[in-house]
Chain A
Amino acid sequence: MAEIQIKNIAKRFGTYQALHNIDLTISDQEFMVLLGASGCGKSTLLRIIAGLETPSEGEVWIGGRRIDHLPPKDRGIAMVFQNYAVFPHLTVFENIGFGLRMQKMPNDEVTRRVERTAELMHIEQLTGRYSGELSGGQRQRVAVARALAMEPDVILMDEPLSNLDALLRLEMRAELKGVLAESNTTAIYVTHDQVEAMSLADRISVMHEGRIVQAATPVEVYRNPAERFVASFIGNPPMNFLPATPVKGGQWSVAGQMMDGPSANKALEFAIRPEDLKIADSGLTAVAKVVEPLGAHLLVTCAVEGHQFRAVLDSDLVVKPGETLTFAPLADRVRWFDPDTQKAVA
């Protein structure tokens, strides 16, 4: 059992506050992805859990045990580093077995475990090589194998795929997901790639400027962003926003168009995903500016009353720049945000 509880963690570097009061619970065997833009504090949080960084405030618990005062080796964790950190002076075999040797495990047990994990990661042919003789993808496999060989309660991964080319990343992503699903490990995975986050995660924690703004399943994060930041960060292209003014009890005026919405009595923001728009006879009037055929879809960037507005349309449609389009948003996909608090309004 390795439930991870992060309680009120804060981290300051001098006067700079990298993390603000993080609270997060990750259940046993869950695959949690920390997603956020560069510099938002993902690595810092991961390194605090690993014990490579000390929190300024707060506690970390793993499996019902407070561990933030323990050295990394006593926390039941293993880690995959962004630049792999595969030891150059050791063979692949000794790299994978490094942690086991440090535990003074008997030789035959080390051999057994190293061989099994090497096989799992499809690098059994490479065990005699040095890291200088490996490709980036192979090195990455060694880094994962080294972590898995420890049979840890928790595996921490800091952007492990970010140095690989797109195709290899896709392949490794699927493999990683398969391998981890079969182990009983709780995983925390740091990335700034939302597609990676969506495809791997049981739950995603979206981070922004040292805070966790939403922790939910990928679908939930995508469909029901808790904050405007999440809505604008997740999804490619991101969500469209338009100012909305209340007319009367649940009726809203958006770009001159009447819409049903929440019963608030202040200006809100109307939000809709580009793929949740249909061409219709009446609706939001938009002028097409840029038309990008993407194969499967047609991405049209328009202006709605001077606001940038994107639509993902069927690739059979023919749209020319300058053309005026009328979009009807799918009613159950419309979301509303409070511009003052940035929070979603139901």
Chain B
Amino acid sequence: MNPRILPYVLILPVTLFLCLFFLYPFVLVSKQAFSTGAGFTLENFQDVTSHWKFPISFKNTLLLAAAVVPVQLALALLMATMVNGMGRGRDLVLYVWTIPLGISDLAAGIIWLAIFEQSGFLNSMLSGLGVIDKPVSFLSYQHPGVVFLAIALAEIWRATAIMLVILVAGIGLIPKEYYEAAEVFGASPWKRFWRITLPLLRPSLQTALVLRVILAFEIFAVVAALGGTLFPVLMGETYAYQFELLNGGAAAAIALIILAISIGFTLLILRILRVPKGASI
């Protein structure tokens, strides 16, 4: 076969698959979002954005992402550096740290619910220590800060490992000689991290951040388990429109808004962590 067209033939099945199961539904959703029955309209978007819950869910989603992702990034970097410095036991530690990856987000939410709820671990521990004399309802409207904290904690616990795995692989790709050269030329361990590890890790950081940020905007199950209606987020609104209000057009509109935000942040991340031509390892 002609070698010029062979690659295209080889990716054809995947392309067809993606068109059928991704592009086609996407077109349907877009159509649904931009119509109310009679032609092209922005009515759905106006409806959802003018609803009183939209600004709150929008703010909550962004706040949560802003609180969770940087902490996860810092943690993942710290853990990846530690794992990489280990000799024996390295694999065991890595496996243990990635266990949360195997747990579904709803299950993770429920685990943390078991900690924070009125009859949960936290309450029994605090009353056992004599700090409180009757159980406190942490996850209630009186404690919005605790609700936020619980959701953030659960998210950090659940999803840091995916970044960790990507960063460990990335750090492993950096040749040891660069660190030795940096050391000989006077870079302290801290400087080596900032001047060698981080810049050479940019491709992995891109992947890890894009993945995490997109997933952070799609947060749903953990919030549903821990915050319920106390803490509205965009994905929760999508669910409510679709299945409670049976308004598919509005649900599609919010879904597209989430998509737009995700694309925006993806481009931003790719741009900020761009590796100039000729500057890769």
Contacts from A to B (Cβ < 8 Å): 50-52, 71-73, 77-79, 81, 83, 85, 87-90, 98-99, 102-103, 129-133, 146, 150
Determine whether the beta carbon of B181 is less than 8 Å from that of A85: yes
Give the contacting residue for B178; candidates A52, A87, A133, A150; CB below 8 A: A87
Instruction: Tell whether A89 pairs with B181 under 8 Å between CB atoms, given A99-B186, A102-B187.
Output: no
A89-B275 CB under 8 A given contacts A81-B177, A132-B280: yes
Q: Give which listed residue, B180, B199, B275, B280, contacts A85 with CB less than 8 A.
A: B180
Q: Using A78-B185, A102-B191, A132-B278 as known contacts, say yes or no to A89 and B180 having CB atoms under 8 A apart.
A: no
* B230 interfacial by beta-carbon distance below 8 Å: no
The answer to whether B182 touches A71 (Cβ under 8 A) is no
Residues of A within 8 A of B279 (CB): 88-90, 130-132
State the CA gap A213–B44 with chains docked (Å).
86
**Known contacts A89-B200, A130-B276, A132-B278; is-contact A83 B177 (Cβ 8 Å):** yes
B184 beta carbon closer than 8 Å to chain A: yes
Q: Given contacts A81-B177, A88-B200, is CB(A72)–CB(B280) below 8 Å? A: no
Minimum C-beta distance from B201 to chain A (A) = 10
The smallest C-beta distance from B256 to any residue of chain A, in angstroms, reads 37
Q: How far is the CA of A324 from the CA of B280 in the complex (A)?
A: 62
Contact A150 B185 (CB under 8 A): yes
C-alpha gap A79/B186 in the complex (Å) = 11
A118 to B276, CA, bound (A): 22
Determine the residue in chain B with the shortest Cβ distance to A80: B181
CA A133 to CA B279, docked complex, whole Å: 8
Q: Mark B258-281, 1 if CB is under 8 A from A, else 0.
A: 000000000000000001111111
Q: Report if B175 contacts A (CB, 8 A).
A: yes
- List the A side residues contacting B202 at CB < 8 Å: 89
Asked if A102 contacts B185 (CB within 8 A), the reply is yes
With A132-B278, A133-B278 in contact, do A87 and B184 touch (Cβ < 8 Å)? no
Return the chain B residue nearest A134 by Cβ: B278
Residue contact A79 to B278, C-beta cutoff 8 Å: no
Q: Which residues of A contact B281 (CB under 8 A)?
A: 88
B225 at the interface (CB under 8 A from A): no
- Known: A88-B200, A89-B199. Contact between A78 and B278, CB under 8 A? no
Is there a chain A Cβ closer than 8 Å to B91's Cβ?
Answer: no
0/1 string, B158-199, CB within 8 A of A gives 1:
000000000000000001011011111111000100001001
Q: What's the least CB distance linking A87 to chain B, in Å?
A: 6
Q: Is the CB of B180 within 8 A of A131?
A: no
Give B181's nearest chain A residue, CB to CB: A85
CB neighbours (8 Å) of B276 from chain A are 130
B-side contacts of A129, CB under 8 Å: 278
13 further A-B contacts with Cβ under 8 Å, apart from A73-B186, A81-B181, A89-B199, are A73-B187, A78-B184, A79-B181, A81-B177, A87-B178, A87-B182, A88-B281, A89-B202, A98-B182, A102-B186, A132-B279, A133-B277, A133-B278
State A57–B210 Cα separation when bound (angstroms): 50
**How far does the alpha carbon of A103 sit from the alpha carbon of B185 in the complex, in Å?**
9
The one of A83, A98, A130 in contact with B185, judged by C-beta atoms closer than 8 angstroms, is A98
Contacts of B181 in A (CB 8 A): 79, 81, 85, 87
Contact B191 A79, beta carbon cutoff 8 Å: no
Distance in Å: Cβ of A187 to nearest Cβ of chain B: 15
Sorted nearest first, the 10 A-B pairs with minimum C-beta distance are A132-B278, A102-B186, A99-B185, A73-B186, A130-B278, A85-B181, A133-B278, A85-B177, A130-B279, A89-B199
Complex contacts, B280 vs chain A, CB 8 Å: 88, 132
Select which of B178, B183, B191, B275 is within 8 A of A72 by beta carbon. Answer: B183
Q: Closest Cβ of chain B: how far from A85's Cβ, in Å?
A: 4
Shortest beta-carbon distance from B144 to chain A in Å: 43
- Secondary structure class of chain A's binding surface, majority of residues: mixed
28 residue pairs A–B, Cβ–Cβ below 8 Å: A51-B183, A52-B180, A71-B183, A72-B184, A73-B183, A73-B185, A73-B186, A73-B187, A79-B181, A81-B177, A85-B175, A85-B177, A87-B182, A87-B196, A88-B279, A88-B280, A88-B281, A89-B200, A89-B202, A89-B275, A98-B185, A102-B191, A129-B278, A130-B279, A132-B277, A132-B278, A146-B185, A150-B185
B200 — nearest CB in chain A belongs to which residue?
A: A89
Of A78, A88, A133, chain B has the most CB atoms within 10 Å of the CB of: A88
A132 to B275, CA, bound (A): 12
The answer for the CA separation of A88 and B173 in the assembled complex, in Å, is: 13
Q: Taking the nearest CB of chain A, how far is it from the CB of B188, in angstroms?
A: 8
In the complex, residue of chain B having the shortest beta-carbon distance to the beta carbon of A99 = B185
A102 and B191 alpha carbons, distance in the complex (Å): 9
Assembled-state Cα–Cα distance A235/B168 (Å): 48
How many angstroms from the CA of A298 to the CA of B181 in the assembled complex?
Answer: 46
> A90 vs B281: C-alpha distance in the bound complex, in angstroms?
11
Bound state CA distance, A88 and B196, in angstroms?
10
A146 to B187, CA, bound (A): 14
Distance in angstroms between the alpha carbons of A291 and B55 in the assembled complex: 91
Q: What is the CB-to-nearest-CB distance from A251 to chain B, in angstroms, rounded to a whole number?
A: 57
By CB atoms of chain A within 10 A, which of B177, B184, B200, B278 has the most? B184
Question: Which residues of A have CB within 8 Å of B183?
Answer: 51-52, 71-73
Which of B175, B200, B279 is most buried by chain A, counting CB atoms within 10 A of its CB? B279
Residues of A near B277 (CB, < 8 A) are 130, 132-133
Interface residues of B in 21-40 (CB under 8 A from A): none
Binary per-residue interface labels of chain B (207-250) against chain A in the complex, 1 for a CB within 8 Å, 0 otherwise: 00000000000000000000000000000000000000000000
Q: Is the CB of B184 within 8 A of A52?
A: yes
For A83, list chain B residues within 8 Å (CB): 175, 177
Q: How far is the CB of A98 from chain B (nearest CB, A)?
A: 5
